[in-house]
Amino acid sequence: MTSAPVRSGIPETGEWTSRFATAPPYRPVSTPTVGRTPYRRPLDAERIAALRGDEPLTEERTGSDEALLAHRLLMNIYESDTLFLPEEGMAARQQDFEAFYDPATRLAADIAKPAVERYVFSFLDRSVQVTGAWDLESVEAHVTAAIDEAVHAESPVLRAIDESADPVRATETMVAQMALDGLTEATAMSQNLGGAYGPEQSELFKIFVDEFGYGVFDAKHSTLFAELCRSIGMTPTAHHYWFFYLPTWMTSNNYFYYVTRNRLGFFRYVGAMTLLEATFAPWFAAMSRRLKAVYGDGVDTRYCDEHAHIDQHHGRMAVRDLLLPIARKHGPAAMRELVRGIEDTKVLGRLADADLVAQMTWHPVAVAGGDRPPTGAPVRPGQDFDTRVAAADERLTVLSGQVELHHSPTGDPLTVPAGSSVVVPRGRLFGVRADRDSVVATTSSAG
Amino acid sequence: MTARVRVEFAWPAHNAVRVGDETYFCLERDGVVHVLASRCPHRGGPLHLGRVEGGRLRCPWHGNAFRLDRLCERGVPAVRTGDRITAYVPAAPEPEDLPIPVRQMVLAQEEPVDVGV
């Protein structure tokens, strides 16, 4: 525990939220990527303290700066209860390890969690309404239709890569989002492997046996994902690209913690997981083709190829051996939650796709001249780095010095010299950094 | 098991579904839309033209009143996301009688509603 907590805007547990957010693992860093450690996940405690917890996020605000801050906080709350060990061994990381799992910080996390969850996820109660007396036939018809609809829909994300002027940057922006789950061993989705709930537990385990590579490290899906990252020059350390996770993609990842850490969400989890498993295969086959088109033969597509194959089986297994037997055994209340999980997944997927496409297709340009605001804020070399989401169309004008605009996890940032400006559209994620003393004015922009 | 048929419609542009001789209507309660069978279990009266009084829906024919929470609990399986409703209504005896989303007068609401077509 460190400095005195800042009062947070999230009610009921604000002090605990601040205690957690100001703990050492969550302190700022000065670089746009986080070092090769699982224990550094920067949070901006002051901006988190300004969140209006009495106004939960709406569906329209799931891509907002408030969502970004709250989901970073929530992901850290969840993952501080998940085991991460440093790849290079503990010798140089002992202090970080102890700080990350410090019992007092963990206590703050557990107390803060329900209020943060309500803040970010209660919109789903309004966005998805499941009513009536569901029976097995209606559940089966609904899951079949949902799968059919998803597997036949064109992916807007893959289309955006196809049409991108910078397909490498676009692809790597997507891969960085996938790393949320890909490099953390499907942790969020695997929280229900323990317990005692009959034959369906064994059916779920069969799916994860494939996920975990049958006890062979080189066959684990997370190992294959790391090899994909290496083959395209990306760093395969969990959360290395922390600052470039989009809020909607964190929403999807945190959702699985949300419905699994609280066992009341079990049936919702099964519905959500089933829809994903049943629709991944064609998506990954298409992604594998895109990766080869973008990077050539050097890219390691085994992660995608494995999913393109095994998820044909997982889809069938999840529906036939897991979801329907659970529906049959546990009845109408469970059925309603299974359907709710399916619908949650559709909503979250739609929001994440739209957010990612908007980020991928944003190509900022520095323009010389124009209006020169009288004052701005200093940006100094070595100061804390952070990214945020623009609340409205914003114009950043460099009054002196020179700054870098970071808008993607890889690729060169945009250099904006003194006397120039750049427009950041509403909803886009960006960060600013300088290698010399600079002053930047932020004003609203008409475009 | 009831044989069911899937129907999708835009709410509130459509507020009922007809399948053969049966009508299923939308009832909004605490911001949640339920799809309910209109046929009164007493003598088949049109519940969609009934009145909501004290948490009960009163049939306009013989005045039987049914608890709304129970009607909703036993309603047609349905999902609403945004303005789209997907429902699984009981199939008609004649397979060619497919469900047809319609806009019609529905009086059965907890608050006074505009019944204009």
Question: How do residues A149-168 score in pLDDT, each as one tens digit?
Answer: 999 999 999 999 999 999 99
Does A319 have pLDDT greater than 50? yes
Say whether both A101 and A164 belong to one domain: no
How many whole angstroms separate alpha carbon A389 and alpha carbon A355? 11
Which of these, A159, A169, A175, lies nearest to A362 by C-alpha position?
A: A169
Which residue's entry shows tokens 């002090």? A15
Query: Residues A157, A297: one domain?
Result: yes
In a domain, B110, yes or no: no
Burial tier of B116 (Cβ tally within 10 Å: 0-12, 13-18, 19+): exposed
pLDDT over 60 at A273, yes or no: yes
Cβ–Cβ of A138/B4 closer than 8 Å? yes
The answer to whether A146 contacts chain B (CB < 8 Å) is no
So what's the pLDDT on residue A200?
Answer: 93
Whether B82 and A136 lie within 8 Å, measured CB to CB:
no
What are the percentages of helix, strand and coil residues in chain B, rounded to 5?
10, 45, 50
Distance from CA of A129 to the nearest CA of B (A): 5
Compute the average pLDDT of residues A327-333. Answer: 96
Q: Which of A126, A127, A136 sits opposite B1 (nearest CB)?
A: A136
The Cα A390–Cα A348 span in angstroms is: 21
Least confident piece of the model among A51-55, A305-309, A364-368 = A51-55
A133–B73 C-beta distance less than 8 A: yes
| Domain presence at residue A402 | yes
What is d(CA A117, CA A435) in angstroms, rounded to the nearest whole number? 38
B41 occurs within a structural domain: yes
Q: How far is CA A314 from the centre of its chain?
A: 23
Strand ranges in A105-224 using DSSP code E only, listed in sequence order: 128-131
Interchain contact A343–B (C-beta under 8 A): yes
Note whether B66 and B57 are within 8 A (CB).
yes
Q: Which residue of A127, A131, A136 is in closest CB contact with B75?
A: A131
Answer with the one of A77, A108, A123 that is the final residue of a domain: A123
Sort out which chain B residues have CB atoms less than 8 A from A268's CB and list them. none
The helix (H) or strand (E) run that includes residue A106 is helix A103-121
Q: How many Cβ pairs within 8 Å bridge chains A and B? A: 69
Quick one: which of A343, A256, A311 has its CA closest to B81? A343
Q: Answer yes or no: do A167 and A78 share one domain.
A: no
Residues of B with CB under 8 A from a CB of A: 1-4, 6, 31-35, 72-82, 86-88
Cβ-contact A366, A417 below 8 angstroms: yes
% of chain A residues with pLDDT over 70: 97
Label residue A3 by pLDDT band (50, 70, 90): very low
pLDDT digits (tens, 9 = 90+) for A335-346: 999 999 999 999
Q: Is-contact A255 A276, C-beta < 8 A?
A: no
Residue A368 contacts B where some CB pair is shorter than 8 Å? no
Query: How far does B13 lie from chain A, in Å, by closest CA?
Result: 18
Bridge partners (DSSP) listed for residue A400: A439
Closest CA of chain B from A337, distance in Å: 11
Asked whether residue B87 is assigned to any structural domain, the reply reads yes
* pLDDT for residue A395 is more than 60: yes
- A374 vs A419: CA distance, rounded Å: 12
The mean predicted confidence, pLDDT, of chain A is: 93
**Interface test mutation site (partner A, options B4, B79, B89, max chain A beta carbons within 10 A):** B79
Q: Are strands A377-379 and A438-444 parallel, antiparallel or unpaired?
A: antiparallel
Domain boundary among A91, A106, A123: A123
Residue A436, domain member (yes or no):
yes
Q: Does A128 touch chain B (CB under 8 A)?
A: yes
Residue A1: is its pLDDT beyond 50? no
Instruction: Please tell me if residue A375 touches chain B, with a CB cutoff of 8 Å.
Output: no
Q: What is the pLDDT of residue B106?
A: 92
Residue A80: per-residue pLDDT: 96
The pLDDT tens digits of the residues spanning A198-249 come to 999 999 999 888 888 898 999 999 999 999 999 999 999 999 999 999 999 9
Do A317 and A219 fall within a single domain?
A: yes
Mark yes or no for CB contact B78/A137 under 8 Å.
Answer: no
**Which chain A residues are Cβ-neighbours of B87 within 8 angstroms?**
132
> Residue B114: its pLDDT value, please?
54
A333 touches chain B (CB under 8 A): no
Chain B CB within 8 Å of residue A134 CB: yes
Residue A270 and residue A287 share a domain: yes
Q: How far is it, in rounded angstroms, from Cα A139 to Cα B6?
A: 11
User: What is the tens place of the pLDDT at every residue in A169-204?
Assistant: 999 999 999 999 999 877 888 889 999 999 999 999
pLDDT band at A5 (very low <50, low <70, confident <90, very high): very low
Which two tokens mark A360? 């991928």
Looking at the fold, whether A110 and A18 belong to one and the same domain comes out as yes
Residue of B nearest to A141 (CA): B6
* Chain B: closest CA distance from residue A136 (Å): 8
pLDDT band at A35 (very low <50, low <70, confident <90, very high): confident
The answer to whether residues A118 and A177 belong to one domain is no
Q: What CATH number is attached to the domain comprising A201?
A: 1.20.910.10
Q: Which domain holds residue A407?
A: 367-444
Q: Rounded to 5, what percent of chain A is helix, strand, coil?
A: 55, 10, 35
The model's pLDDT over A291-303, given as tens digits with 9 standing for 90+, comes to 999 999 999 999 9
* pLDDT over 80 (residue A113): yes
The reply to whether residue A135 touches residue B75, judged by beta carbons under 8 angstroms, is no
Beta strands in A320-393 (DSSP E): 367-368, 377-379, 387-389
Chain B interface mutation, best of A131, A135, A147, A337, highest count of B Cβ atoms under 10 Å: A131
Q: Say if residue A169 is in the same domain as residue A267.
A: yes
- As a whole number, mean pLDDT of residues A367-384 equals 92
Q: In this structure, what CATH number is given to the domain that contains residue B64?
A: 2.102.10.10
End residue of a domain, out of A81, A99, A123: A123
Count how many domains chain A has.
Answer: 3
**Is B114 inside a domain boundary?**
no
Distance, in Å, from the CA atom of A387 to the CA atom of B44, rounded to the nearest integer, reads: 62
A268 interfaces chain B, CB cutoff of 8 Å = no
Instruction: Please indicate whether, in this complex, the C-beta atoms of B75 and A133 are within 8 angstroms of each other.
Output: yes
pLDDT at A267 over 70: yes
pLDDT per position as a tens digit, A118-127: 999 999 999 9
Query: What b-and-e string marks burial along A375-388, b requiring 16 or more CB atoms within 10 Å of the CB?
Result: ebeebeeeeebbbb
- To the question of pTM greater than 0.90 for the whole model, the response is yes
Q: Are B39 and A174 in contact (CB under 8 A)?
A: no
Determine the structural domain holding residue B22 and report its residue range: 4-102
Q: What is the pLDDT of residue A446?
A: 56
Number of structural domains (chain B) is: 1
Q: What is the model's pLDDT at position A2?
A: 40
A142 close to B (CB below 8 A): yes
pLDDT at B1: 62
* CATH number for position A413: 2.60.120.10
Please tell me whether residues A376 and A288 are part of one structural domain. Answer: no
Contact criterion met (CB < 8 Å) for B81 and A347: yes
Contact B6 A145 (CB under 8 A): yes
Q: Chain centroid to CA A308: how far?
A: 22
Asked, for residue A3, whether it belongs to a domain, the answer is no
Span of A6-20, A256-270, A408-422 with lowest mean pLDDT = A6-20
Residue A447 CA to residue A383 CA, distance in Å, equals: 29
Residue spans of chain B under pLDDT 70: 1, 111-117
Q: Average pLDDT for residues A4-29, to the nearest whole number?
A: 78
Tell whether A424 is within 8 A of chain B (Cβ): no
Q: Do B73 and A134 touch (CB under 8 A)?
A: no
Any idea what DSSP says for residue A58? Answer: P
Closest CB to A141: pick one of B6, B81, B82.
B6
Name the burial class of residue B105, with classes exposed (0-12), middle (13-18) and buried (19+) by CB atoms within 10 angstroms of its CB: middle
Asked whether A348 and A252 are in contact (CB, 8 A), the reply is yes
Q: For residues A177 and A71, state if they share a domain.
A: no
A60 and chain B in contact, CB less than 8 A: no
Which of A128, A138, A347 minimises the CB distance to B88?
A138
Q: Kindly report the nearest CA distance between residue A133 and chain B, in angstroms.
A: 5
pLDDT at site A15: 87
A-chain residues near B86 (CB < 8 A): 142, 145
How far lies A278's CA from each of A28, A327, B8, in Å? 40, 17, 22
The answer to whether residues A311 and A398 belong to one domain is no
Same domain flag for A237 and A307: yes
